[in-house]
Structure 1
Amino acid sequence: MFCHPTLVRRRTMAYNAAGEKSGAPPPFVYGTSFILGLSMFGISLAAGIYNSYVPLFIRHYIPNVAVIGLIVSIRTLAGVFLNMYFSARSDRTRTRFGRRMPYILIGMPITGLLFIAFPWQIGAAFLITIDLVYALTSNIFYAPTMALMPDVTPEANRSQANGIINAMAGFAALLAFFIGPLLFHMGRQVPFLVVGLLFFMIPMIMYRKLKEPADVPPSDSVGFRHLWQAAQDIARRMDHTALWLLIAVFFWSGGESSVETFFVTYGVYHLHWASSVAVITIGLFALAYLIFAMPSGFLAKRHSRRGLVLVGTLGLGLAFIAIGFFTGTWPIRLLAMTAGIFWAFVNINGYPWLTTLTSPTNIGAFTGLWLLSSGLGNFVCQPAIGFLMDHWGYPSLFVAAGIAALLASLAIWRTQPERMRLG
């Protein structure tokens, strides 16, 4: 399935969206996207195994759910800032291994070792320590891995690459759901050992098969200062496309993540479904997204990313609102699948669009701002929508999530059409 292309480095100069000169990425090769997808495949597989079993391990030692929730909140909040920092720092990094690759070569194997240690339950202190250190190391390489995609992919092909990468990540999530329990029954250490070994193999494959452009100038600043300068640059531009896009990311991430978080609760307590019925229904949303991930990327070759994201946010918002008016299983499932298709339009084309709005020097910082907008959307919208559900009833979930997606579409409407911006 995987091809192993020999990437040819080209030292060329290209004008980017900001009007600056910078090194162009190598020519687009599908094999490059599959190799990039290996990293997200491993990350998604690890997340699925982690979410299925590690909370149970922690609950064995800590019966207090509030304490577990506090640990999860600390991990989530720390993850947002760590991703921002390492993503921006990679813009300044210069080594013989590249600027993104060192974070992958160091972070993934260490994370793999920690992952293997999870099922060896020596005690509560050991498990919590492993979990918190895992939260640190797993965020060392995640954002640099994201930023590596636009580094090695031409602008015109980034949606295609993102579609392939997300399809591989979605396939890994399904494997974790179906294969994970089989491995666990072979021994509680087995799924963790398999993922841990993958975390040693994947960075070696990426290092051997991917070549970062060597002629991209380093950023002028490092870490959070670099992020701040990138944010100031976005705010001062005459063209506010990047600013409106990040605002849209805040709303669509918050709305979609709220539906994923609360849908099973909505199905069980409002529709009186069995939990399995609710899980299958939200699973169809994820399945539709997975099926249309690659086609959504290829559509960007014929249609503008702005148009696809605009249609996606509008369709997502209307589908969410419509779900609130139905109680039958199959009408809701059909609408959930429709929403999954529109979500693919949004999620596959949004990040590649943002990377075209800056120079290669600042892609890491813009990736960090993307992750900040997405993380803040989840952090703000989920408790806000939960509050509405408590006071106005469960159907407010889909009204609020739909409005969030429609607000995202309004923000996208304020962006400049790509032809006008490039002109």
Structure 2
Amino acid sequence: MRKTWLLGFGFFSISLGWSLYNGFVPFFLDNYITSTALIGFLMTIDNYIALFLQPFIGQLSDRTRTRFGRRMPYLLIGVPLAALFYTLIPLHTGLVSLLIFMLCMNLSMAVFRSPTIALMPDITPDHKRTKANGIINFMGGCGAILAFSIGSYLFSVDETLPFIAVSIIFLITLWIVFKHIKEHRDSLSYTETIVPKINYKEELNSSTLYLLAAIFFWFIAIQGMEALFTLYGVNELGLSKSASAFSLTFFSLSFVISAIPSGLLGAKIGKKKVILLGVIGLIVAFLLLNWVASVFYLRAILFLGGIFWAFVNINAYPFIVSTGSEKSFGTRTGLYYLISSLAAITSPPALGYLIDLFGFSVLFLAAAGSLMVALFFISRVKEHEDHVIGS
């Protein structure tokens, strides 16, 4: 598990970057744009890019062979570029430069995201993947906590500071992963032979399709909530920008606390059962949040919601990987992010449009409704396919 903890630094930087991006970039856009729906749309531009790039790069990394490995070259290219453009975002001089820096940063992130995540099943046996995913998501949750806590403080001092800090952390974590993860040595199935191009149709069995549908609808709920929550806190509850962003720390904190236990629980009683429990819990939490007016209860329910989100998210990626063959880890990682990107494209502008029509109180009702659809699809996944994997 030592290698998993070290790999977790890569996930730490990804989560830190996205959390800060979702928390504070809407405020930059709000300086130029009055429509919440349009802000929501602009926050999804990166996902349109990821929609095409991440599945392609995930599959390409399955077939890449270099002296650095098959995943590492994408990290070596993407991470430094992401750090550069992340630093430039708060230094924008207008809407056009802001959008250009956002676009370039997200292009860079799309280059290394799928290969970074695909490294986990590369170096981890099947029966240890839920625990390993718990560890790397624990690290990712720590990144989110830093984004919403220390990041909130830095943002209140100077809006450029958290972005510069994240860029530095990007480069440090790249050095850690590059120094300690050697694919030729650590990968369970690495060979120098170029494997055939994988046919997506061969990978889409019935359980995979139902699971991808469930993933789509629970990401509709979570990504929409995260993208618009800071504006919700300011406009609906009257919180300051920093206090609104800080409230999401409680969601991330409980996710971190629950990440490793969720992976262990999934390994013990099955990924599907734990995911079902998590989706049901999130539905209840989001319905309660719709009627909360107190900051104390808001943060308490967000804390509870983070636990249930850990049940879902920690077990979802190992579940989707386990329904295919070892030769397709990068491809299935790309499919996973293809679906989450589709959700991210759909959710913020759709929820933003509902908010424009009905007010911010509709945010959590819509999220709960999407989770109910996810509950239907995950219930149709055949549990026995949880453990079916080719060799």
Flag the 1:160–1:98 CA change in 2: closer, same or farther, 3 A: same
Equivalent position to 1:233, from 196, 199, 202: 202
Which range moves more in the overlay, 280-289 or 300-309?
Answer: 280-289
1:142 to partner: Cα distance: 0.9
Name the residue aligned to 1:260: 226
**Is 1:102 matched with 2:73?**
yes
What is residue 335 of structure 1 aligned with on the other side?
Answer: 301
1:85 CA drift (Å):
1.8
Aligned ranges 1:173-252 → 2 under 5 Å: 173-180=144-151, 192-212=163-183, 213=187, 214-215=190-191, 218-221=194-197, 226=198, 229-230=199-200, 232-235=201-204, 237=205, 240-252=206-218
* CA shift in 2, pair 1:74/1:330, >3 Å: closer
Q: Secondary structure at the match of 2:79?
A: helix
Kept in 1: contact 2:130–2:315 (CA 8 A): yes
Q: Which runs of 5+ in 1 are unaligned?
A: 1-28
Q: Which moved more, 1:313-322 or 1:354-363?
A: 313-322
Indicate yes or no: 2:330 matched with 1:354: no
Q: Is 1:304 paired with 2:270?
A: yes
Aligned to 2:111: 140
TM-score, normalised relative to structure 2 = 0.83
TM-score under structure 1 length normalisation: 0.77
Distance 1:348 1:53, change over 3 A: closer
| CA distance in structure 2 between the partners assigned to 1:71 and 1:407 by the alignment | 26
> Could you tell me how far apart the structure 2 residues matched to 1:122 and 1:395 are?
33
Q: How many residues align?
A: 381
Aligned to 2:311: 345
Question: Tell me, what secondary structure is at the counterpart of 2:269?
Answer: coil
Show CA shifts across 1:85-134 (max 9, x none).
Answer: 21121111111211111111222123334445556668887665544332
Whole-Å separation in 2 of the counterparts to 1:383 and 1:408 = 19
Q: Which residue among 48, 64, 76 is the counterpart of 1:77?
A: 48
SS state of the match for residue 215, structure 1? Answer: coil
Distance 1:370 1:421 in 2: 18
Structure 2 residue runs without a partner (length 5+) = none
- SS of corresponding position for 1:87: helix
| Cα distance in structure 2, aligned partners of 1:375 and 1:152 | 25
Q: Determine helix, strand or coil for the equivalent of 1:258.
A: helix
Secondary structure of the residue aligned to 2:191 is coil
Cα displacement string for residues 259-296 of structure 1 (whole angstroms, at most 9, x for unaligned residues): 334445555555x5434665554442232222212221
8 Å CA contact retained: 1:216, 1:361: no
- Does residue 364 of the first structure (1) align with residue 330 of the second (2)? yes
SS in 2 for 1:300: helix
Deviations 1:16-61 (A, max 9, x none): xxxxxxxxxxxxx2x111111111222233345555666777888x
Question: Which structure has the larger Rg over C-alpha atoms?
Answer: 1
User: Higher helix proportion, which one?
Assistant: 2
Q: How far did 1:243 drift?
A: 0.9
* Contact 1:163–1:296 (8 Å) recurs in 2: yes
TM superposition shift of 1:210: 1.6
Which residue does the alignment assign to 2:372? 406
Percent of counterpart pairs with the same letter? 35
Rounded to whole Å, the distance in 2 between the matches of 1:68 and 1:278 is: 17
- 1:254–1:120: structure 2 CA closer, same or farther, 3 Å change rule? closer
One-letter code aligned to 1:149: M
Residues in 2 aligned to 1:251 and 1:184: alpha-carbon distance in whole angstroms: 32
Q: In the alignment, is residue 324 of structure 1 matched against residue 290 of structure 2?
A: yes
Q: Judging changes above 3 Å, is the alpha-carbon distance between structure 1 residues 52 and 341 closer, same or farther for their aligned structure 2 residues? A: closer
1:4-23 pair list within 5 angstroms: none
Match of 2:60 among 89, 106, 115: 89
User: 1:166 — aligned with what?
Assistant: 137
- Paired residues of 1:264 and 1:275 also in contact (CA < 8 A): no
SS at match of 2:334: helix
Q: Does the CA-based 8 Å contact 1:304-1:418 persist in structure 2?
A: no
TM-fit CA distance, 1:308: 0.5
